[in-house]
Amino acid sequence: MATSVWIVLSGITAQAQVHTVILPPSADTFLNINEDKDGSLNTLNTYTYPANQIANAILMQFDASSIIPAGSTITDAQLNLYLVQTDTDAANPTYTVTTHKLINFNPDLALATGFLYDGVNPWTAHPQDANCCLNDIPLAQGDITAAYSSNQVSQAFGFKAWNLTTMVQEWMNSPASNYGVLLNSDSTKPADRFRFFASLEDCDASIHPYLQVTYTGGSPPINPPTVSITSPTNGATFIAPANITINANAADSDGTISKVEFFQDCILVGAATTSPFTFTINNLPAGTYRLSARATDNSGATTTSSNVLVTVNHLPLEITIGETAIGPLDDNGNGDLLLAQEASLPTPATIQSLAFYVTAAEGQLRLGIYDATGPDGGPGAKKAEIDEITPVVGWNIANVTKPVSLPAGNYWLTYLPSSSGLNFRKIRTTGTGSKYYTYPYAVMPDTFDPAPTGSSISHWTLYATLTTSVPTITIGNLNLANRSDSGNGNLLVAQAVSLSQTATLQSLSFYVTEYVSGNLRLGFYDATGVGGKPGALLAATAELTPANGWNTANVITPVALAPGNYWLAYLPSESGFHYPTQDGVGSFAFHSYDYSPMPDTFGDLTGGGTGNGEWLFYATLTVSASPARPTLSVARSGNNIIISWPAAATGFALESTASLLPANWSPVTTPPVVVVGDQATVTVAVSGPASFYRLRK
């Protein structure tokens, strides 16, 4: 990604205007003592290896003559690079980096290596000497001038500067000789000393390299475009899988906008050539993302917007606390009473609404929720409430005036009717049931009376709905990439992942940046291969035709997984489409495999190999949520009482006692538990003294 080209008119003298222009490199890379092409990496590296030998050299090109008018006099030119990584050798706190003008060849920095200046033709031969380079690798050392400037680069992160005034003037005097600048490593240091700087490919445009040039004479330089993201706003949140539309404003004061490109975590995801400049990214999983836009004008000048950070959260899951089953007993006469019943929240959640069941409507009604900070865990501070409602027969559900995040714990659901003619349903409960006191109908108080005048063992048909996160996790690489990869058709490729908890695999997602043709298969292997390499196939997706962006597909059969090491696998049918990759992190393994359903066993690595790197590739798994506490319901049927609770609440036993003070709980073994629909039921005869029941796990 290119950074901004921006201009400051710094002053006017009696003789000529003085202009300052900031130029980004048109290209940058670094050479290594190997055949790697490193122009797509997000760092520019200087490195000493072995001792007193140059092992890396930075190359940069600036198109100065297209911005600065011919005949201008360069009064100052400062090259600025941002230090992002360094050795910590206290005995060598500085590292000398020198600048040199490139001569002899005009390199293609996208293809240049330590051996070749354009991917085909060699640099001038440079036998290894006292300064460079291992195994006679030329590293452009025979194609540079003597040093123009140097910087004793410290170990403090930040911008470092080199004076290139003379070099830039020479470029302006003879634009055809402008092949670029080389920055050399320190040949006086021990082995493995280094300084790494941010490149154009770094996702933070504010630390990109730039050349600041001050000149006199000629007209002002071309103004670059302006661009900013108008939506989403920084810090915006979405729910997974998210479709996020990026809108950008772009303008050019002395030309026109040719295009606006959109980036997600430094990866180009789309472009627009006409206003309105907009692009939608589809199916983003949970995570945090950096979005940016780059505008290009008709002169080729570019500007990159500031990053906008957005967060995609897991889909909310609704849970309820309180009494959702309609109680068997009628009740009324509670006008101008503030009543509260205890409820337990098993997991942190955000309250959204409150619901109350009415059998005969009259007057007005208010609902609320209080914490349990009152005496002996009673109702304390008000946490949320609804606006006043006019109740109707049946369920009355209303959103709270402001959703509030609540930690797990005990709470009190409250209701306040204006009329005693309001009828509703209740159940008898055990333990602490409810508390109440006289309160003239109005907005509920901020604090519940610490000495309520009454209590009972009743619960009314009153519940709260809250949202929490869907219990899902992802494993793999969601947003780390530093270059584009391709050419893996008919290769079975796997990257290592680690699962920290028991979970069930649901889907696999793979990112594609440039799709032309072909199909893709995704799979999931265990780590039972030799040396922990991929072993048995555990799950796979059906064949899919990929599109640019995230490609998410459910596995054919979800599979429960224990914590441990696993491998995500992909198999493209053709080499034509591209996908982002991050070099140097994680582990991968691959071998040749004709495109077809993935094999049951990954197989040996004949015709393949291993390495360090990851693609944008992840798995989504579900984990078991802590179940809410089940609620007992009681209903009369003739001369019997039917006690019921959710059959899904396994591991609970029904217990009874004839008295609460003191309580003497014992298991209910007869009559037997009978499952009816989704409810576990016990039927007991109406006879004898009162009995109390509870579920115990």
Phi/psi of residue 260, nearest 5 degrees = -125, 125
- Tell me how crowded residue 454 is: count the other CB atoms within 10 A of its CB: 11
Question: Would you state the pLDDT for residue 528?
Answer: 95
Question: Would you state the pLDDT for residue 188?
Answer: 95
Q: What is the mean pLDDT of residues 686-693?
A: 78
**In angstroms, rounded to a whole number, what is the distance separating the alpha carbons of residues 54 and 52?**
7
Q: What is the mean pLDDT of residues 353-371?
A: 96
Q: What is the pLDDT confidence band of residue 163, given thresholds at 50, 70 and 90?
A: very high
Q: State the Cα angle at 309 between 306 and 314, rounded to 5°.
A: 165
Question: Would you state the pLDDT for residue 47?
Answer: 94
Instruction: Answer yes or no: is pLDDT of 240 > 90.
Output: no
Hey, what are 176's tokens? 């055809």
Instruction: Answer yes or no: is pLDDT of 487 > 50.
Output: yes
Question: Would you state the pLDDT for residue 480?
Answer: 63
The residue that leads in pLDDT, 556 or 641, is 556
Q: What is the pLDDT confidence band of residue 274, given thresholds at 50, 70 and 90?
A: very high
Q: Left, alpha or beta for 135 (phi > 0: left; psi -120 to 50: alpha)?
A: left
Instruction: Answer yes or no: is pLDDT of 15 > 60.
Output: no
**Quick one: which of 366, 368, 362 has its CA closest to 420?**
362
Q: Which residue has the tokens 């077809």?
A: 596
The residue that leads in pLDDT, 576 or 531, is 531
**Quick one: which of 97, 122, 101 has its CA closest to 112?**
122
Q: Which residues of 334-361 are buried (b: 16+ CB within 10 A; e: fewer)?
A: bbebbbbbbbebebebebbbbbbbbeeb
Q: What is the pLDDT confidence band of residue 81, given thresholds at 50, 70 and 90?
A: very high
| Residues in Cβ contact with 545 at an 8 Å cutoff, skipping those fewer than 6 apart | 519, 520
| Residues in Cβ contact with 92 at an 8 Å cutoff, skipping those fewer than 6 apart | 189, 190, 193
Hey, what are 549's tokens? 């962006």
Contact in structure between 555 and 503 (CB atoms under 8 Å): no
Choose the weakest-confidence range: 274-288, 386-400, 627-641, 682-696. Answer: 627-641
- Tell me how crowded residue 306 is: count the other CB atoms within 10 A of its CB: 15
The residue that leads in pLDDT, 267 or 453, is 453
**Quick one: which of 28, 22, 75, 62 has its CA closest to 171?**
62
Question: Would you state the pLDDT for residue 690?
Answer: 76
Q: What is the pLDDT confidence band of residue 433, given thresholds at 50, 70 and 90?
A: confident
Choose the weakest-confidence range: 167-171, 392-396, 572-576. Answer: 572-576
Q: What is the mean pLDDT of residues 119-143?
A: 91
* Cis peptide, bond prior to residue 276, ω within 30 of zero: yes
Question: Would you state the pLDDT for residue 335?
Answer: 95
Q: What is the mean pLDDT of residues 64-72?
A: 88
Q: What is the pLDDT confidence band of residue 5, given thresholds at 50, 70 and 90?
A: very low
Q: What is the mean pLDDT of residues 150-170?
A: 96
Question: Would you state the pLDDT for residue 114?
Answer: 95
Instruction: Answer yes or no: is pLDDT of 576 > 90.
Output: no
The residue that leads in pLDDT, 78 or 611, is 78
3 state DSSP class of 49: coil
Please list the alpha-helical segments (H only) found in 338-464. none
**In angstroms, rounded to a whole number, what is the distance separating the alpha carbons of residues 522 and 424?**
55
Instruction: Answer yes or no: is pLDDT of 402 > 60.
Output: yes
Q: What is the pLDDT confidence band of residue 624, given thresholds at 50, 70 and 90?
A: low
Question: Would you state the pLDDT for residue 11?
Answer: 44
Question: Would you state the pLDDT for residue 7?
Answer: 39
Q: What is the pLDDT confidence band of residue 432, given thresholds at 50, 70 and 90?
A: low
Question: Would you state the pLDDT for residue 389?
Answer: 96
| CA 186 to each of CA 55, 98, 168, 457: distance values in angstroms, whole numbers, following the listed order | 9, 8, 23, 82
Q: What is the mean pLDDT of residues 547-551?
A: 79
Q: What is the mean pLDDT of residues 598-617?
A: 87
Contact in structure between 268 and 513 (CB atoms under 8 Å): yes
Hey, what are 12's tokens? 């006017």
Question: Would you state the pLDDT for residue 265?
Answer: 77
Q: What is the mean pLDDT of residues 236-246?
A: 88
Hey, what are 317's tokens? 């899951």
Mean pLDDT for all residues in the chain? 88
Question: Would you state the pLDDT for residue 82?
Answer: 94
Give me the residues paired with residue 271 across strands.
261
Instruction: Answer yes or no: is pLDDT of 27 > 70.
Output: yes
Hey, what are 136's tokens? 């006679």
Question: Would you state the pLDDT for residue 398?
Answer: 95
Instruction: Answer yes or no: is pLDDT of 430 > 60.
Output: no
Question: Would you state the pLDDT for residue 3?
Answer: 36
Extended beta strands in 562-690, E state: 564-572, 579-592, 609-615, 617-622, 633-637, 640-646, 653-657, 666-667, 674-676, 679-685
Question: Would you state the pLDDT for residue 661?
Answer: 65
Question: Would you state the pLDDT for residue 613?
Answer: 84
Q: What is the pLDDT confidence band of residue 8, given thresholds at 50, 70 and 90?
A: very low
